[in-house]
Structure 1
Amino acid sequence: MTTLTSGMASLIAPVPLLATVEPENSPIVLSGVLLSLVVIYLASKLGAEVARNFDFPPVLGELVAGVIVGVSALHLIVFPEGGLSASDSVVMTVLEWINHLSPEALINVFESQSEVVSVLAELGVIILLFEIGLESDLRQLKEVGIQAVVVACVGVAVPFAAGTVGLMMLFHTPAIPAIFAGAALTATSIGITSKVLSELGQLKSKEGQIIVGAAVIDDVLGIIVLAVVASLAKTGEIDVINVIYLIISATAFLIGSILLGGIFNKSFTAIVEKLKTRGNIVIPAFIFAFFMAFLGNAIHLEAILGAFAAGLVLDESDARNELDELVKPISDLLVPIFFVTVGARADLGVLNPAVPENRAGLSIAVFLIVVAIFGKVVTGWAVFGQPGINRIAIGIGMIPRGEVGLVFAGIGSASGVLDKPLEVSIIIMVILTTFLAPPFLRVAFGKPLQPPTTGENLTESSTLPGES
């Protein structure tokens, strides 16, 4: 009986969520995560509803709601990466008051809670890209493949060259910081753009497929550019072998995933037919999606690329329509965490000219914003052989930098390459391009497309998943 009791006690005893968490603090970390999720879900839903009432993409509402609950306003959802402490978090203040935490315990709980929320946000964007892959048409994506490659290459080359040269000539910025800032201009947030396209009913349009394809390629090119400038920042030299490895692995990964799609689909269908318990479709699908995301991460690409490739592959399977419906509720739970946290991390305080250290960055920021917008808008005119295509929409769809741009800024800051004015200017550029693109994309496309008369079940209606 004693053995059984001790065994039961070990089952219900608090298990640390992270290795860095003290066992006695684990329940408090869980409380912080739960309270943060309450704030995130409330903010995302209210923001999406308000945006929808004003005929804006709901994702814009989620981003703005994130700004309101984040570091720029209410300090409900904050993260230590921005130099903030536990005392800056309202959630941590509540937990400290309830649990009478010591300063050391409070710091431990804050860091652990923030890490858990960040991991959930990463899972959210992985699932978002898996869902976008399912909603994309692989055959049509292949048809616009060459155009997508051209758009992506122009979208990397033009802002990178214009940003780097402009900073060096107009602001006398040293070469390596200028190159790093130019590299930050090459980014495109596929998560934000693809979500807006889905909400506007344009994901499967020719423009939408070109944008998504170009954004995926742009992400790969961005990773390669980041590897180049990061090695340049560390050693002053470019690691040619690493660059070649990234190019080969990225190309092989994406093309190989698509070419082997038929084999994967047959195996997936056979497995689904043999499984008879709940989750017989969605669990194997997520095993495949997470494994592909793991492979993408393991070969030093991005997990989201693997998830997107998995969605593209399973889009061709017989169970695609049913799988698409099963993924939506999971997406509804995790994707808002990603968008709200992106907004919560955006510190609009860098726009305040009353702060002396911001002033030098504001003029540079204006230049970077102009380059960031026009450097992507021109990509629409790189499309060839597509008469009547909406070139403005394609260019605008490539504008948002989102989390990808913040990664560039974060690595540049951590490496010590960027001084404060240049770092501030990059952050301002990332924030404004992220928030300007969704409403501009809405204007560029006009009214959402009507569902096709063939009765095809497309998810790119103007309603959000789960809404009628």
Structure 2
Amino acid sequence: MIPYAKRLFFSLLFLFPTLSFASDEGHSDPFTKEFLAIFLILIAAVSGRFIARRFKQSEVLGELIIGIALGALLFSLNNRLVTTIRYQNEIREIIEETSDMEAEFDVAVKNYVANETELPDDVQARIVNVMTSEGFLNNFLNANYTLLFSSLGVLLLLFMVGLEVSSAEMIKMGSISFSVATLGVVFPFVLGYLVAEFLIPGIEDQNVAIFVGATLAATSIGITARVFKDANSLQLKESKLVLGAAVIDDIMGLILLAIVSGLVTSGNIDLTEIVVIVAKALLFLVFVYVTERYLLRHVVKFFGFFAGRNTFLLFPFTLLLLFAWLSSVIGLASIVGAFCAGLVLRDDLFKRFKRDHQTIEDLIAPIEGIFAPVFFVLMGFQVDIMAFGNWDVLLAGLMLTVVAIVGKLLAGMFLKKGYDKLLVGIGLVPRGEVGLIFASIGKSIGVLNDELFAVVIIVVILTTLVTPPLLSARLKKVRASANE
């Protein structure tokens, strides 16, 4: 790294915590801290990308690592914004539970955290300190605005991925994607259960082992999609197969979560809930197909009557938001809706509203390039590196990480000839935000204690971190073989 680049990078590292404490007193604009936060996150992302390129690694890996490093630094300095982002779910629950209490807010928060939560003492102290501090409401809103930028980033990323994959190709790979997704759920679930039941000490309840196995089943598409996109490899048949399998995987993961949660909480499996989840997922996919086949062209014309030449930019973005909302309403991940929105759109729908040779990607890519890095840096912010300090937790996390990776690789090994089996298996490895969702639900229903929650977080971290370099290396080999 050249000398002035080193000086710039380390200056930014020192500047980051300093500026994060800056006051916006005296300014009438309530969003000045938010402007500063996004500025610093983007600077961090650029720095992380630069370092990753210097070491010939995927840029997304640089964004994740710089997020982990800066998140840990700011968290150790008791930065309220980072603390609020890291414990957003717990804080939101506390606000909901204490909103109807007659006691003053500060007193209600302290009593609820002390008596109604099972959080570690140091976490309780941090949350109480943040929630009872002056200006908590503004801080909470700032954190939510920052997370909104993050959510838009991952939605735009999956939308862009959908644009580069045709629905006809996805349907053509339907049976193959389904088989890969099924094996990719079954293998990690069984292996995770066996490790939790027989190798991790302290797990005496079989239901806990079942839930731990379930947390390993689902795939997070965001990391893999970003690596494929950065490597200009979305048109590979393996890429399309992985993306299709990941969408199906999400539906299977929801069904498995419903089964396991019902088994753990009540000892019974609610078949009605499972049927409802499956029906909603199928109806959404039918809705997407019908929209593309029969409605989309007419809707674009109607929208264009009001929006004019802005239709080419506004319609794709509004469809992205609508599909993300719809998929979330029926219980699917919002990123599935964003991916489907990109899947159904084609440039020829907008001939009247665009310049020659202009594409939807040309308009959306710059927006995605701003928001997507925020998502990956903030994922790093939410990682608690102190989880690595407990040897028993670390060992259990490493064992489960191994079976989490092996389970997905096995799913790829059963593919027929013509596909790079290892590339497909690696593409299914990251757990990311999906694993975090499973872990948070397990903690909320009491099946995962603090140690097991930390174990799952380690699995999420490691599978997220190992995928970009492994996938990039395998893609290089695949492309090299194709050129021979």
Q: What is the rounded CA distance, in whole Å, between the counterparts of 1:224 and 1:79 in structure 2? A: 32
Aligned residue for 1:61?
62
Deviation of 1:28 (Å): 7.7
Deviation of 1:27 (Å): 5.8
Of 432-441 and 336-345, deviating more is: 336-345
Q: What is the rounded CA distance, in whole Å, between the counterparts of 2:307 and 2:291 in structure 1? A: 26
Aligned residue for 1:431?
461
Q: How does 1:60-99 map to 2 (within 5 A)?
A: 60-71=61-72, 78-80=82-84, 82-83=86-87
SS of the residue corresponding to residue 388 of structure 1 reads coil
Residue type of the alignment partner of 1:376: K
Residues 1:29 and 1:347: Cα distance change in structure 2 (over 3 Å): farther
Aligned residue for 1:292?
323
Which string of whole-angstrom CA distances, capped at 9 and with x for unpartnered residues, describes residues 62-87 of structure 1?
1112112213667666243645999x
Q: What is the rounded CA distance, in whole Å, between the counterparts of 2:56 and 2:337 in structure 1? A: 33
Q: What is the rounded CA distance, in whole Å, between the counterparts of 2:301 and 2:148 in structure 1? A: 32
Q: How does 1:126-141 map to 2 (within 5 A)?
A: 126-141=155-170
Aligned residue for 2:111?
none
Residues 1:221 and 1:72: Cα distance change in structure 2 (over 3 Å): farther
Q: What is the rounded CA distance, in whole Å, between the counterparts of 2:412 and 2:405 in structure 1? A: 12
Higher helix share: 2
SS of the residue corresponding to residue 280 of structure 1 reads helix
Aligned residue for 1:98?
none
1:350 to 378, 387, 399: 387
In the comparison of the two structures, how many residue pairs are matched? Answer: 410
- The answer to whether 1:419 aligns with 2:456 is no
- What is the RMSD of the two structures over their aligned residues, measured on CA atoms? 3.0
Deviation of 1:29 (Å): 5.5
Does structure 1 conserve the Cα–Cα contact (< 8 Å) formed by 2:151 and 2:375?
yes
Aligned residue for 1:458?
none
Residue type of the alignment partner of 1:370: V
Does structure 1 conserve the Cα–Cα contact (< 8 Å) formed by 2:300 and 2:315?
no
Does structure 2 conserve the Cα–Cα contact (< 8 Å) formed by 1:400 and 1:433?
yes
Which string of whole-angstrom CA distances, capped at 9 and with x for unpartnered residues, describes residues 146-195 of structure 1?
11111111111110111112211223622222122111101211111111
**Where does the alignment leave 5 or more consecutive residues of structure 1 unmatched?**
1-23, 89-100, 353-357, 453-468
- The answer to whether 1:161 aligns with 2:190 is yes
Q: How does 1:453-464 map to 2 (within 5 A)?
A: none
- The answer to whether 1:383 aligns with 2:384 is no
Deviation of 1:448 (Å): 8.2
Residue type of the alignment partner of 2:363: L
Aligned residue for 1:35?
36
Q: How does 1:287-436 map to 2 (within 5 A)?
A: 287-315=318-346, 317-319=348-350, 322-352=359-389, 358-384=390-416, 387-436=417-466
Does structure 2 conserve the Cα–Cα contact (< 8 Å) formed by 1:138 and 1:316?
no
1:247 to 253, 278, 281: 278
Residue type of the alignment partner of 1:33: E
Q: What is the rounded CA distance, in whole Å, between the counterparts of 2:27 and 2:151 in structure 1? A: 21
Identity within the alignment, %: 33
Aligned residue for 1:221?
252
Which string of whole-angstrom CA distances, capped at 9 and with x for unpartnered residues, describes residues 351-391 of structure 1?
12xxxxx222122112101111100111112223xx33211
Deviation of 1:252 (Å): 2.3
Of 249-258 and 315-324, deviating more is: 315-324
Q: What is the rounded CA distance, in whole Å, between the counterparts of 2:348 and 2:265 in structure 1? A: 46
Of 66-75 and 279-288, deviating more is: 66-75
Residue type of the alignment partner of 1:129: L
Does structure 2 conserve the Cα–Cα contact (< 8 Å) formed by 1:202 and 1:208?
yes
SS of the residue corresponding to residue 176 of structure 2 reads helix
Q: What is the rounded CA distance, in whole Å, between the counterparts of 1:236 and 1:258 in structure 2? A: 38
Q: What is the rounded CA distance, in whole Å, between the counterparts of 1:216 and 1:26 in structure 2? A: 45
Q: What is the rounded CA distance, in whole Å, between the counterparts of 2:259 and 2:382 in structure 1? A: 26
1:121 to 134, 147, 150: 150
Does structure 2 conserve the Cα–Cα contact (< 8 Å) formed by 1:72 and 1:347?
no
Residue type of the alignment partner of 1:420: D
Residues 1:43 and 1:264: Cα distance change in structure 2 (over 3 Å): farther
Normalised by the length of structure 1, the TM-score is 0.80
Residues 1:293 and 1:370: Cα distance change in structure 2 (over 3 Å): same
Residues 1:180 and 1:27: Cα distance change in structure 2 (over 3 Å): farther
Q: How does 1:439-450 map to 2 (within 5 A)?
A: 439-446=469-476
